[in-house]
Amino acid sequence: MADISKIIGIGLIGLIIIVILKQYKPELAIYVSIITGVLILVFAVEKLTGVINLLQSISNKTNINNNFLKILLKITGITFITEFAVSICSDAGEKAIASKIEIGSKVVIITMSIPIITSLLELVLEILP
Amino acid sequence: MDINLLFKIAAVGILVAVLHQVLVRAGREDQAMMTTLAGLVIVLSMVIQQISSLFNTVRTLFDL
Amino acid sequence: MYYYIKTILLIAIFLMSTAIGMLISKMYENRVKELKQFKNTLNILKTKIKFTYEPLIDIFKQISQEKSNKVEKIFENMTYKLSFGDVKNSWRDSIQEADISITQEDKDVLKELGKVLGQTDAESQVSEIEVTETFLDMQIEKAEEDRKKNQKIYKTLGILIGLFFVILLV
């Protein structure tokens, strides 16, 4: 409860500052929005540590290949950062750059997930007579 | 990494805006432009540190 | 402890920056004031040359007697220099050395007068003083304009820049 109120507080304060600052210096208002995003994200990321540890311990107990979990986590991280960058760009009114960042991140994710895809295909080939 | 940074940027922004106003009113457009630029650079340097710290945390957490 | 030192230093930075702004804005005010004083003094000088025909050194001594403002202090310095030099050099040097808010341009206008003072007859000296006075009037007008334009800005600028540094260093 304390955490969510903190995040909401940071967000609202950032919002008020941006609204005030936009009348005088719109270029500085963007920085405030970036900082608000960074603060909230860092807060959230620190909370994620427990979840990731849990996932890793579960995968250690079962017989799943540990590399797959690593790749999954990496993909999650990439989407995390990409989402941050994309939202900043679209906030600043640069929709084109935002969509390009999205495309780039999608390409990177696909190249990273190639091992998973190949192993899936192999599994299918094994099952098929 | 705390909320103070937000207030700091807001204060710098308002101050730079007032400086800009004063200098423009006095007919010194070029210096007004310089103050705006200086404020921008200062704030940018503060913001970049924070962004790099965010990226580092994400990188260590998801070991990218 | 550390916190207290930091607060005190920040307040000191703010006060100093404000004071610098005040000093600069004061300079513009002082320039107008001193130019007006110079004009008054030149008036006295003109009257004395016209009606008393006393030697310059005595006139300067009379002018500098009160020592109430900076212009009269210049004349005191001039009297001292005149006791072992010629008028031209002592006039020029004491104006150049003066610790005063007027600009180099004003000083150049004033220095022109020294070339004639004490060299020619009373008539032409008086007319030269009058010419210098018209120049001074122009300078006063210019100084007044500058003051109107810059005085308030420098005051505000000092305070704002002080605040700026304080915010950055907090």
Chains B and C touch (3+ CB pairs under 8 A): yes
C-chain residues within 8 Å CB-CB of B22?
A: 153, 156-157, 160
Q: Which pLDDT value is given to residue A82? A: 92
Say which range, B5-19, C30-44, C85-99, has the weakest mean pLDDT. C85-99
Residue pair B13/A29 in contact (Cβ under 8 Å)? The answer is: yes
Whether B6 and A77 lie within 8 Å, measured CB to CB: no
Average pLDDT across chain A, whole number: 88
Q: What is the pLDDT of residue A95?
A: 92
**Average per-residue pLDDT in chain B?**
86
Q: Which residue has the higher pLDDT, C84 or A61?
A: A61
Is pLDDT at C59 greater than 80 in this prediction? no
CB-based contact C149 B27, cutoff 8 Å: yes
Q: Where are the domains of chain B?
A: 4-58
> What distance in Å separates residue B45's CA from the closest CA in chain C?
12
With 0.90 as the threshold, say if the pTM is over it. no
Size of interface B-C (CB pairs under 8 A): 27
Maximum distance among all Cα pairs of chain A, rounded to whole angstroms: 71
How sure is the predictor about C152, in pLDDT bands with cuts at 50, 70 and 90?
A: confident
Name the residue among B61, B58, B3 with its Cα closest to residue A83. B58
Of residues C93 and A35, more confidence is placed in: A35
Candidates C38, C80, C74; CA nearest to C57 is C80
Please report the ipTM that was assigned to this predicted complex: 0.77
Chain B residues closer than 8 Å to A42 by CB: 1, 53-54, 57
Exposed/middle/buried for residue C164 (C-beta within 10 Å: 0-12, 13-18, 19+): buried
**Residue C84 pLDDT greater than 80, yes or no:** no
Share of chain B above pLDDT 90, in %: 3
- Please name which of C91, C96, C116 lies closest in space to residue C107, comparing C-alpha atoms: C96
Treating both helix axes as pointing N-terminal to C-terminal, what angle do A66-91 and A114-127 enclose, rounded to 10 degrees? 130
CB contact under 8 A, B26 and C150: yes
Cβ contact (<8 Å) for A24 and B7? no
Average pLDDT over residues C71-99: 76
- Which chain A residue lies closest to B4 (C-alpha atoms)? A10
Q: Which residue in B has a C-alpha nearest to residue C157's C-alpha?
A: B19
Distance CA A49, CA A28 (A): 33
Residue B49 at interface with chain A, using a CB cutoff of 8 Å: no
Going from N- to C-terminal start, the domains of chain A cover 1-63, 65-129
Do residue C168 and residue B12 have CB atoms under 8 angstroms apart? yes
The residue range of the domain holding C70 is 2-169
CA distances from A40 to B3, B54, C36 (A): 10, 10, 63
- Quick check: C170 pLDDT over 60? yes
**Which residue on chain B is closest to A82 by alpha carbon?**
B55
- Is the CB of B59 inside 8 Å of chain C's CB atoms? no
Instruction: Work out the pLDDT band at C40, boundaries 50, 70, 90.
Output: confident
Quick: pLDDT tens for A119-129: 889 989 999 87
Interchain CB distance below 8 Å, B15 and C150: no
**Res C28: pLDDT:** 87
Q: Which chain A residues have a beta carbon less than 8 Å from that of B51?
A: 34, 38
> What does the pLDDT read at residue B1?
57
Return d(Cα B40, Cα B42) in angstroms, integer: 6
Residue B4, chain C, CB below 8 Å: the answer is: yes
Q: Is residue C48 within 8 Å of residue C54, measured between CB atoms?
A: yes
**Predicted confidence band at A56 (pLDDT cuts at 50, 70, 90)?**
confident
A17 and B CB contact within 8 Å? yes
Give the per-residue pLDDT at C97.
75
Interchain pair A38, B54: CB under 8 A: yes
The end-to-end CA distance of chain C, in Å, is 16
Is the CB of A77 less than 8 angstroms away from the CB of B1? no
Q: Does A28 touch chain B (CB under 8 A)?
A: yes
CB of A114 within 8 Å of a chain B CB? The answer is no
Q: In this structure, what DSSP letter does residue A64 have?
A: S
Distance CA A38, CA A42 (A): 6
At C15, list the tokens.
């006060």
| Residue recorded with tokens 């009114």 | A93
Tens of pLDDT, residues C125-151: 788 888 888 888 888 898 888 888 888
Residue A64 has pLDDT above 80, yes or no: no
Q: Do C167 and B15 touch (CB under 8 A)?
A: yes
Residue of B nearest to A15 (CA): B6
For range C22-42, the mean pLDDT: 86
Q: Answer yes or no: do B19 and C157 touch at CB < 8 A.
A: yes
Contact C64, C79 (CB under 8 A): yes
The pLDDT > 70 percentage for chain B reads 98
